[in-house]
Amino acid sequence: MSHLIKLSQIDESSNALAFLQNILFSELGHCSLIIVNTLNLPKNTYQLSNYCNTEVCPNYTAAEILMPISKLGISEGNFIEQWKLLSQPLLVKRQECSSLFSENNLMSDEALVLPILIDAKIERWVLVLNQENSIQAIDLPKLMLLANFAVVSLARATEKRQLEEITNWREEELKEISRLQHLLLPDPDTTIPGIELAFKFQVYKEAGGDYFDITSLADDRASDKPHKFGSIIADVTGHGPSAAVEAAMLDAIIRTYKPDSTELEPPAAVIDYVNTHFFTRKNRGKFITAITFTYEPETKILKYACAGHPYGYVKRGEQLIRLDQASDIPIGVLKDYQWTNHEIKLQRHDIIFVYTDVVIETRDMQKNEFGFERLEQVLINAESCPHCLVDDVADALVAFRDNDELCDDLTLCAIQIFG
């Protein structure tokens, strides 16, 4: 039991060699130890390292026990290939293995070889020299088990530390990606004359593929008059960092767009432009759904184009109007595809509502989808307030799923028209 307690207490920062020596002391008494290592070394070659005795026990980490040490030399010996087949301890004598005993640290006429099995391979051995107890008095099977348990415990401690480092690095990188993705969003206090804006952005796992932006298209107009504005909501296929990178690329493409009088009018022209520049020399295996729209307060015309995205709505009191005239394909499917514009005339206090597909695809415990019908009922029953719409839909999804965590990224946007 004491050995098990010791084995459970090892960590990567401990003096691994002292730990090993302490574990073997009960069987060997005072002794000298050397590690023989062939990991990643050429055939018939080995390295002796990590020497310790009763008086001297240098501080080696678990990694230094397990891996060859670059500053130490490599020796040759045909015997090492035979050792790789050992399943039991082996007592070797100087006259049987002269090349081994010519090494500086082997001040003995014999050595006990303990093969170490890690991941179904024998590539390391513990050499025992000048042990206090006689070979006849040593329980060799127990000694073999203790040596293997000790070295395997060191290996697992190293793997645990490496896993923790990788996990910490991954978490920090995801946090940074998430931070950068949030920089793509409009400021929470974004104001455009003539509208009231409410939006909610929630990623599934640190970072995701949802994208939303809204901007005034009449910055030179007085702030006391309603502005023409444009907006886009998009969803990259997949989750996580790769989708977030695609969303960032989408943002970069959109920001290089400049209207051209010879081409189709926005917003369809924006999707055409994004689609043209979304394609790279190799197929990335991703596509993007999107709705983009513009609103002109002078004419009260909302013009929209859809690229395979779930259709949006206009809430007019208790009436709900579907923006479902567009049925074009997603971005990234066909390079030469052209999208079409559709129009609807809005009224004062109308609310435009758009969202990403997690809304209709969220499932309850019985695998039923939230769907369009439930969404429409929530929108109809909600107060005519953009913040109420966003909050009510988000709350309805949580209640339906009976879980705060959704199965995908979530973006909701509601825009009320006053101009």
What are the extents of the domains in the chain? Answer: 2-163, 184-417
Q: Which pTM value belongs to this model?
A: 0.68
Structure tokens at 17: 């060699």
Please count the other Cβ atoms lying within 10 Å of the Cβ belonging to residue 404: 7
CA separation for the pair 222, 204 (Å, rounded)? 40
pLDDT score of 16: 74
Per-residue confidence at 1, pLDDT binned at 50, 70, 90? very low
How confident is the model over 333-387, as pLDDT tens digits? 998 899 999 999 999 999 999 999 999 999 888 889 999 999 999 999 999 999 9
Percent share of the chain, pLDDT over 70: 93
pLDDT score of 6: 53
Q: How far is CA 168 from CA 14, 156, 171, in A?
A: 21, 18, 5
Task: List all residues 6 or more positions away from 357 whose beta carbon is below 8 Å from its beta carbon.
Answer: 235, 289, 309, 310, 408
Superfamily of domain 2-163: GAF domain (3.30.450.40)
Place of tokens 């015309």: 301
Structure tokens at 244: 């977030």
Task: List all residues 6 or more positions away from 134 whose beta carbon is below 8 Å from its beta carbon.
Answer: none
How confident is the model over 80-133, as pLDDT tens digits? 999 999 989 999 998 888 888 887 767 788 999 999 998 889 999 999 998 989
The CATH classification of domain 184-417, taken from the options 1.25.40.10, 3.60.40.10, 3.40.1260.10, 3.20.20.70:
3.60.40.10
CA separation for the pair 144, 139 (Å, rounded)? 9
Closest CA to 138 of 295, 7, 272, 29: 29
Please count the other Cβ atoms lying within 10 Å of the Cβ belonging to residue 17: 24
Phi, psi of 210 (to 5 degrees): -80, 150
CA separation for the pair 254, 271 (Å, rounded)? 9
Alpha-carbon dihedral angle through residues 93, 96, 99, 103, given to the nearest 10 degrees: 0
Count Cβ atoms within 10 A of the Cβ of residue 351 and give its class: 0-12 exposed, 13-18 middle, 19 or more buried. buried
Residue 5 pLDDT > 50: no
How confident is the model over 163-212, as pLDDT tens digits? 888 888 878 877 777 777 777 788 888 899 999 999 998 876 666 788 99
Structure tokens at 387: 């913040």
Mean pLDDT of the chain: 87
Inter-residue contact 326 to 304 (CB < 8 Å): yes
pLDDT score of 393: 96
Phi, psi of 242 (to 5 degrees): -65, -40
Inter-residue contact 58 to 17 (CB < 8 Å): yes
pLDDT score of 404: 65
CA separation for the pair 279, 57 (Å, rounded)? 61
CA separation for the pair 146, 140 (Å, rounded)? 10
Length of the chain, in residues: 419
CA separation for the pair 337, 111 (Å, rounded)? 77
Helix (H) / strand (E) element for 182: namely helix 140-183
Inter-residue contact 16 to 6 (CB < 8 Å): no
